[in-house]
Structure 1
Amino acid sequence: MNPETASDDEFLAAVESAEWPGEHFGHREHVRLAWLYLRRHGPVEGYERIRGTIQKYATALGAPGKYHETVTRAWSAHVYVALKETPDLNPFSAFQEAHEGLRDSKLLSRHYRKETLEAEAARRAWVSPDISPLPAFP
């Protein structure tokens, strides 16, 4: 499978089965995964799928400690707000182009101090922002 041309369904199936190449699962792919799940399943079920899939994927790639609860939830909030603004925008590349802020992997620094996000407590469980509030997310 070509990571550059994979359809949304191919992408999801490959990530869910841990067949997506780890070296091609960066920031963009995390956002794409969130966009797909939130769009298809809504905020509550979508978020549970995001969490579960990333945890399983990281474990399958031999990096179970890499999952970060606070980062996952905070990014999901940003993707969800953007999705509400442009619910019918498709494909993902058009969504990403319309919401350039989602390309900035440092976006969470507007909400959190570096020390807060680097803390093990934030990795294991949700930690509220300590600089500015996140967008509303169920």
Structure 2
Amino acid sequence: MIRALRSIGKPVCLDAADKLAASTGTLAEFDLHLRRAGLNVADARVLANGMMHADAGNALFLSSFSASYNLDLGDGGATALAEAFPETMMELGLVGCSIGDAGAHAILEWARTAPNLRMICVEGNKISAGVKSQFQNLASGGRNILVVV
């Protein structure tokens, strides 16, 4: 994950890589917040690859992820990330990322398999009313999830 962040090379990613490198071996979980980082679809694919190939030996797991206010993520970036999110993740923020229904469906597919999910914020995107209602349904059925859509 650190290598992926550094290869993107944007200041927010480099700062996150430094923080993660400093915490490796001292924390059981980590948060990755890349708000307003100037991320695009290609960057999302690099991050997704980093998530999927993270070194399990470091005993860290991704607890919270936010890439809010990265306008160039769109459906392609959201889909790439959603396919890599671990089921153990508890919080997700993708506010204002130009995500439409295609990316939203990928996020929903992941969210339905994430038993520890407690918060998901995807407002400010191009998601239709019908898909927004599917997000709101995540909080039904006994799951205690804060959904902001």
The TM-score with structure 1 as length reference comes to: 0.31
Larger helix percent: 1
User: Of Structure 1 and Structure 2, which has the larger fraction of its residues in strand?
Assistant: 2
TM-score (norm 2): 0.30
